[in-house]
Amino acid sequence: MSNTFADPMRQSPIAILLLIYKYFFNIIRQFWPAIIAVFIGQRAGNVSNILLISTILVAILALFFAIASYLRFSFRVQGNELFIEKGVFKKSKLNIPFERIQTLNFEQGIIHQIFNVVKIEVDTAGSSKNEFSFNAIDKDLAIELRKLILERKSEIEIKEEPIEQTAIDTISQKEDDVIFSLSLKDLFIVGLTQNHLRTLVLLFFFTLWGAGELSDAGLDMDWLNEESLQSFLKSGILIISSLAFILLVIIVIGTGIRTILKYYDFKMFRSEKGFKIQAGLFNRKENAALDHKIQQIRWSNNPLKRIFGIHRLQLRQASSVEISNKKSIKIPGIKLEGIQNILNYLLSNGNEYLALDDRNISHWYLVRNMIYVGILPWLLIAGIGYYIFLDTRYLLVLLAIPYFCITTYVQYRKWRYRVNEYLIYAHHGVYENKNNILQLYKVQNVQIHQSPFQWRRGLATIRMFTAAGSIHIPYLQLEEAKKLKDLILYEVESSQIKWY
């Protein structure tokens, strides 16, 4: 097999632009306290000059580090290893055996797309973070490099392991099949059903910042005071309702735009051994996940998503929690039939969990939360406020009691789980319906906890830890929790299936 990468190669010259941007902001992050101190010590008239000089100096430093980093970075393929040489002042050498490489994910920001280059992030086995990344490589060259590495990796595994085992070890080199995609109409629905609270908070802070900027610019913002607001409120419900509607429209449009930019042209591919997704307009990302590295399958929907019959799906990969969140396969809107199709790929029987019987948690979960969350805190706040300040308005706090009692009851009613010798399925939530499937042999640790309240009533909470986070089931009978723990430990010890 020919090796285009036998001789040392550099990245695309476009990497210099990306490195300038990277070093520019890294320098500012490192020295921002000193920069602020200089500004504070200067008069207002000198601030603009100081800012200009500081920007020029930082830009020159960033340019120096970017060029030096580009010239001193090279890579090559020798045998079945990828060799990297990098460093600005101190040169370091890194060699990665192909068998350790799990996936090579591509990412294209707007600059990458303009110049037809890609950023490559190399995910290796046994690492809590990416071993390294290439800032910019010509797209055709990057595809050739990925193909070479995965083909060599596959050859190594076929020699070292039986064919049946290697069937789950590497992403197939065959043409991937598109099994799911999102159109602009789908993305519009997803944006409509997103959590708009985040956009509302951003809009609120933007409004406050904008008012401050206009005031600094010399515009009269004194009309935005308490008296004018009271007069505004008296002007009528119609105006208030109209502005509330306009605000809601702005929030929905903002969330929709953010959703379309992030998930534009979303495609999910299926190969023999894993999944791959591509999405994004200005920053196009590609993430891959091998079947055996997927630790948890999570899907959820909020009231808006339930209207359209869609869910948010997440396939969480084995890694540190921080990296797992970033590298998980996420689908922002998918129907239940689509989830079932994905489960059929990942489980020996994708419908298996549906045939299992529901198991409920103890009613003491409801009693305890009803007392300690729904009633006592609000009685104490209202009582103490009224006693100290003799103000009857503190009694309005008691209106929170029915709300928290109702949500506590709903949460209790939704908590259920199903289990057999292969998997565990949990369902819970208040406004959202949250679902989680975990294959038992992928559990790394299992613990049983008892609070004093639980201990007196023979109850316990069981928590299962995986390489992609944990799930728990609260308020089980202690004997039931112990049996579940024994079942999980038996499956972990007896299973020979690879999961890392």
Give the C-alpha separation, 429 to 205, whole Å.
Answer: 30
Average pLDDT (377-391) is 86
Residue 101 CB burial class (10 angstroms; 0-12, 13-18, ≥19): buried
**Whole-structure pTM value:** 0.77
pLDDT given for residue 152 in this prediction: 83
- pLDDT (0 to 100) of residue 105: 85
Instruction: Name the band, by pLDDT with cuts 50, 70 and 90, for residue 243.
Output: confident
Q: Are 294 and 315 in contact (CB under 8 A)?
A: yes
Q: 471-491: string of b/e by CB count within 10 Å (b at 16+)?
A: bebbbbebebbeebbebbeeb
State the pLDDT at residue 2: 59
Mean pLDDT of the chain, nearest integer: 82
Dihedral angle, C-alpha 58, 61, 66, 69, nearest 10 °: -140
Tell me the C-alpha to C-alpha distance, in Å, between residue 223 and each of 207, 219, 229, 234, 449: 15, 11, 9, 16, 57
Across 42-51, 179-188, 344-353, 474-483, least confident range:
42-51
User: What pLDDT, in 10s, does the model give residues 274-296?
Assistant: 899 999 999 998 888 888 889 99
Distance CA 129, CA 204 (A): 35
Contact residues for 461 (Cβ-Cβ < 8 A; gap 6+): 448, 449, 450, 451, 454, 472, 473, 474, 475, 476, 481
Q: How would residue 168 be classed by pLDDT, with cut points 50, 70 and 90?
A: very low
Q: In what order do the strands lie in the sheet with 74-78?
A: 74-78, 81-86, 92-97
**pLDDT computed for residue 173 by the predictor:** 44
Higher pLDDT: 164 or 121? It is 121
Please determine, for residue 247, whether its predicted confidence score (pLDDT) is greater than 90. Answer: no
What is the DSSP annotation of 284-320? EEEEEEEGGGEEEEEEEE-HHHHHHT-EEEEEEESS-
Q: In which region does residue 145 sit, left (phi positive, over 0), alpha (psi from -120 to 50) or beta (all else)? A: alpha
Give me the mean pLDDT over the 369-392 stretch.
88
Across 76-85, 226-235, 391-400, 439-448, least confident range: 226-235
Kindly compute the dihedral angle of the four CA atoms of residues 41, 44, 49, 51, in this order, to the nearest 10 degrees. 70
Residue at token pair 């120096």: 64
CB atoms within 10 A of CB 87: 12
Give per-residue pLDDT as tens, 460-495: 999 999 988 899 999 999 999 999 999 999 999 988
Q: Is the pLDDT of residue 361 over 70?
A: yes
Which of the four pLDDT bands, split at 50, 70 and 90, describes residue 172?
very low
Please report which confidence band the pLDDT of residue 409 belongs to, taking 50, 70 and 90 as the band edges.
very high
| 183-192: average pLDDT | 92
Place of tokens 């020029």: 56
